[in-house]
Structure 1
Amino acid sequence: MRTHNARTVHLLAALALFAIGTGALAGCGGERADGLGTEITGADPAPKSKARARQVAAAWDGSTAAAAWRRGYYPMGDTVQLPERAFRNDADKRAYGAHNFVLHTRLPTAAPKNGHVKWESGGSLTLPLTGARTAYEALADGSGDGPHLTVTGAELGETSLLTSRGRATVPAWLFTVKGYDTPLKQVALSPSKPPAPPIKPAADLPSGQLWPLGGLVEVAADGRSVTVIAQHGACDDGPAVHVLETDGSVVLYASMVGTKDGACTAQLIGEKVTVKLDRPAGDRVLLDAFTGRPVPYGEGHGYAPNRS
């Protein structure tokens, strides 16, 4: 299933769009990996893309990188959580999108050195705690032009967050925002450092048959589907994303569908693509076949809040 999300970014390289025209096929679904995955529900992508997905899965499954990933803390949901019934009006929405905040309180200066991630499935992890000033400045890094939101209080609390190891309770700074009954929550921990991938990227430049993903948007509550940003150009029919599932990983491989004749403008367009899985994602590593790395949460901005 594909839904259009109007996010256009600058062209990574003009040569990449020029190379679109060879062999990209439509479809979305999965392919069996030694009997462990789901069967393709659309047209087969290029054989090289399937082979690349298998290489990525083989490199990660059972690797020290995968073991390190499962020990770490990697958010798979928004690390900034809005107050209930946000936003009251369009001005507040625009202020948040522009990161325009005004501080009408003193921020706490005393806080523990470390915070703890506590997973619902068991286990915990201790990480350095982000201070209130740093957390606030991450929210309020706008130009100050236009409407703004006013912060009138701040205290350390907790929130619940989806991570690569399932749902967890994490420390968060709770900012009181004028006009709202519940706080805006900013998670007070930075993600663990990602492990070095056991496989190199597919190529220096993408082709029509294999493109890097723009980022992870959402993992369904039941874990049986994931939504990612897939990119395409102005001279094709859109993106397609296929999946290869194993016991240890879920490898997504994206391509561009079709071509159009004529001049091609220098742009990339991001679309949300939802891919169904044969079984819940669980703690399997969600991987991008092109990069050979875990798919970052947040539309290509790393493990960061999605402000769209």
Structure 2
Amino acid sequence: MRRLIALLGLPLVLIAAGCAPAGSGRVAGGGPSGDGADHRWEAFEQRAVEVAQGWRPAAAWSTGYVPLEAPTVLVGDPGFTAETEQAFLAGWYRDQVELPTARPADGAIRFPDGTLTVPLVSAAEAYRQLDQGDPPPCEGRPSQPRPTVEPGPDGSVSSPVTSACTPLTVTAVKLGSAEVRTSRGVAAVPAWLFTVAELTAPVARVAVAPQSVTPLPEPTAPARPGPDGVVGAQHIQTVDGAKLTYALGVGACDTGITPLVQEHDNAVVVGGGVVRATGACIDLLKMEPVTVTLKAPLGARPVLDVLTGRVLTQQRR
């Protein structure tokens, strides 16, 4: 059950996932004092209001191009194997095609609320941004059997040779577009689409020239430390209408992980509640995915971390 609260003159909705397992999507809540509400997270409520009130982006947030995810995206299902996914995440590529060096004409970014004309980079420049270098040797991964002479009837057997991890092979490129989450909602952004032999979908690299990309605004958050038992969000994993999945940064021994979210007209503030371990525990930050259902679709509203106030970007993988 959701509740509507008026606090410090700012309408908001607080959703707490109660004792549901992390990532379950189960939503529970409470009302005013005396109706069974869980008051453990009132400190989250107060801090989230302050974070939302401090959200004052510049004009470029609603007029420019502010991407909320990485400039390399997949266009469709890539059909990853463990090896090709590793290569994609690491940025290991080799080109088997001539890459045009000429810059194309200006392109248009198509937002839900309008268009923006921007200069573009060449395919060769996009590939230089895409390619993050050669893969290192991968311990224990065979490439070809290496003959070794051993005693026996036929005098030889084969043993594996350690080889480099496999890069992705670019076999074609064309100018197209890719869907990118931005400060103005999901936009169709000009992108170079690289055909990769090992994948079943193209790899897109946004073609917008760097001077037309507006960086994320500096975060604004209360100067005091975060409330005890409240943890921050690290990034968004998926957005599906009103369903939001994000990763919490929790301790290795934290339990009772509870997603917490507070909705406003201009922003959504997220974090989580945990029960801290009382004994000795390894000092390790663990990513814990959690899912909440908002009162309304996220749309173009930014998702802000309750501890730092920073805008969360989306990591699709």
Scaled to the shorter chain, the TM-score interval is 0.7 to 0.9
Once the two structures are superposed, the pairs formed by residues 175-254 of structure 1 within 5 Å of their partners are 175-178=194-197, 182-189=201-208, 191-197=213-219, 199-203=220-224, 208-220=228-240, 222=241, 224-237=242-255, 239-254=257-272
SS of structure 1 residue aligned to 2:78: coil
2:110 maps to which of 118, 137, 144: 118
* Corresponding position of 1:55: 50
Once the two structures are superposed, the pairs formed by residues 98-113 of structure 1 within 5 Å of their partners are 98-112=90-104
What's the C-alpha RMSD, in Å, of the aligned pairs?
A: 2.9
* Corresponding position of 2:151: none
* Corresponding position of 1:7: none
Supply the distance in 2 between the matched residues of 1:267 and 1:229 (Cα, whole angstroms): 15
Supply the distance in 2 between the matched residues of 1:176 and 1:69 (Cα, whole angstroms): 32
Q: Which stretch of the first structure deviates more once superposed, 277-286 or 32-41?
A: 32-41
Q: CA deviation at 1:102?
A: 1.2
SS of structure 2 residue aligned to 1:279: coil
Q: Is the 8 A contact 2:134 2:167 kept in 1?
A: no
87 and 160 in structure 1: CA distance in 2 versus 1, 3 angstrom threshold: same
Q: CA deviation at 1:219?
A: 1.4
Supply the distance in 1 between the matched residues of 2:246 and 2:264 (Cα, whole angstroms): 19
SS of structure 2 residue aligned to 1:167: strand
* Corresponding position of 2:295: 278
Supply the distance in 2 between the matched residues of 1:47 and 1:182 (Cα, whole angstroms): 46
Supply the distance in 1 between the matched residues of 2:259 and 2:3 (Cα, whole angstroms): 9
Once the two structures are superposed, the pairs formed by residues 1-308 of structure 1 within 5 Å of their partners are 32-33=5-6, 34-37=10-13, 40=16, 41-42=28-29, 43-60=38-55, 63=56, 65=57, 67-76=59-68, 79-82=71-74, 84-87=76-79, 89-112=81-104, 114-119=106-111, 121-144=112-135, 145-178=164-197, 182-189=201-208, 191-197=213-219, 199-203=220-224, 208-220=228-240, 222=241, 224-237=242-255, 239-255=257-273, 257-298=274-315, 306=316, 308=317
Supply the distance in 2 between the matched residues of 1:228 and 1:266 (Cα, whole angstroms): 22
283 and 149 in structure 1: CA distance in 2 versus 1, 3 angstrom threshold: closer
Q: CA deviation at 1:84?
A: 4.8
Supply the distance in 1 between the matched residues of 2:283 and 2:12 (Cα, whole angstroms): 40
Q: Is the 8 A contact 1:202 1:291 kept in 2?
A: no
* Corresponding position of 2:144: none
Q: Is the 8 A contact 2:91 2:133 kept in 1?
A: yes
Tell me which amino acid in the other structure corresponds to 1:55: E
Q: CA deviation at 1:137?
A: 3.0
SS of structure 2 residue aligned to 1:37: strand
Supply the distance in 2 between the matched residues of 1:264 and 1:251 (Cα, whole angstroms): 29
Q: CA deviation at 1:57?
A: 1.5
Runs (5+) with no aligned partner, structure 1: 1-27, 299-305
Superposed CA deviations along residues 157-178 of structure 1, whole A, max 9, x for unmatched, are 2223333322321101011222
275 and 85 in structure 1: CA distance in 2 versus 1, 3 angstrom threshold: closer
Larger of the two Rg values belongs to structure: 2
Query: How many residues were matched structurally?
Result: 264
Structure in which a larger fraction of residues adopt strand: 2
Runs (5+) with no aligned partner, structure 2: 17-27, 30-37, 136-163
261 and 37 in structure 1: CA distance in 2 versus 1, 3 angstrom threshold: closer
Q: Which stretch of the first structure deviates more once superposed, 157-166 or 87-96?
A: 87-96
Q: Which stretch of the first structure deviates more once superposed, 41-50 or 143-152?
A: 41-50
Tell me which amino acid in the other structure corresponds to 1:193: P
Supply the distance in 2 between the matched residues of 1:174 and 1:115 (Cα, whole angstroms): 15
Q: Is the 8 A contact 1:116 1:126 kept in 2?
A: yes
Q: Is the 8 A contact 1:177 1:183 kept in 2?
A: yes
Q: Is the 8 A contact 1:45 1:209 kept in 2?
A: no
Supply the distance in 2 between the matched residues of 1:271 and 1:99 (Cα, whole angstroms): 25
83 and 37 in structure 1: CA distance in 2 versus 1, 3 angstrom threshold: closer
Supply the distance in 2 between the matched residues of 1:249 and 1:83 (Cα, whole angstroms): 28
Percent identity between the aligned chains?
34
Supply the distance in 1 between the matched residues of 2:314 and 2:216 (Cα, whole angstroms): 13
Supply the distance in 1 between the matched residues of 2:231 and 2:51 (Cα, whole angstroms): 14
Supply the distance in 2 between the matched residues of 1:253 and 1:143 (Cα, whole angstroms): 37
Supply the distance in 2 between the matched residues of 1:77 and 1:194 (Cα, whole angstroms): 11
